[in-house]
Amino acid sequence: MVMDINEILRYLPHRYPFLLVDRVLTVEEGKRIVALKNVTMNEHFFPGHFPHHPVMPGVLIIEAMAQAAALLSFRSMDVKPDENSVVLFAGIDHARFKRQVVPGDQLIFEIEITQSKRNIYKYKGVARVDDELAAEAELMCALKTK
């Protein structure tokens, strides 16, 4: 199942400049998601992050992976977030950065659920550019409701 930006906005509370997922290419509910981020020179972080050698901050690559994971969680639970619920980062393990991400790159995120218990999900995620590994991490997120 493909999700365009309008569908993504229904599931994520993030908005510019912090929405980091542009499109979902595949969702296998309860299993995995493949999503993408088009990295352009117009990103808000490039003027201040190595201005003469623009590189996407690694922490934002991990954040984008977490946003894709949140999309997978909401789709898997068949719920949409509202003012009473949000998926929050609960942990990051084994994060590694293998390749710089620069303007013009297209990041492809592959996130799979490795464990779920109640409202806590664990994931294994990778980010690639042109089939080259850019980053990988194990993530944990929790659904928080009021």
Q: Which residues are catalytic?
A: 49
22-47 burial: b if 16+ Cβ within 10 Å, else e: bbbeebeeeebbbbbbebeeebeebe
Q: 115 in helix, strand or coil?
A: strand
SS3 143: strand
Q: Which residues pair with 127 in a beta bridge?
A: 109, 135
What CA–CA distance (Å, rounded) separates 97 from 58? 7
Give CA–CA dist 130/108, Å, rounded: 8
